[in-house]
Amino acid sequence: MAEKAEEWNQSVIDRVPADRLLVWNPKDGWEPLCELLELEVPGEPLPHVNDTETFQKVLIMGPAIEAINEWWEREKPPAQ
C-alpha cells in the first residue's frame, strides 16, 4: 500500500507544474500552506490528530470500545 501511495505521489509531482504544486509534510508547519494559499499564518500550532497516540485510541481502541458497548447493551440485566 505504501509503495502505491509513493507511486501516486510521484505521478502527481511529474504531471503538475511546480508553481501549482506544494509537496508538503505536516512537519513543515503552517507556513508553506499559507504561502501557497496566500493566507496569514494562524497563531495556533498545526493540529496533530494523526499521531500514534490518536491512531491507537481512535482506530484500535475505538472499535474495541464500541464492540464492548454493543455487547453490554445486548447482555445487560433488565432495569428494575
pLDDT 10s digits, 11-48? 999 999 998 899 998 889 999 999 989 999 999 988 87
Which of the two residues, 34 and 80, has the higher pLDDT score? 34
Domain range annotation of the chain = 1-46, 48-80
- Output the pLDDT for position 44: 92
> Are 75 and 68 spatial neighbours (Cβ–Cβ below 8 Å)?
no
> Are 13 and 23 spatial neighbours (Cβ–Cβ below 8 Å)?
yes
- Output the pLDDT for position 9: 94
Is it the case that residue 55 has pLDDT exceeding 90?
Answer: no
pTM value surpassing 0.85: no
> Per mean pLDDT, which of 28-32, 54-58, 63-67 is the most reliable?
28-32
> Are 1 and 9 spatial neighbours (Cβ–Cβ below 8 Å)?
no
| 21 HSE (CA, 13 A, CB side) | 11
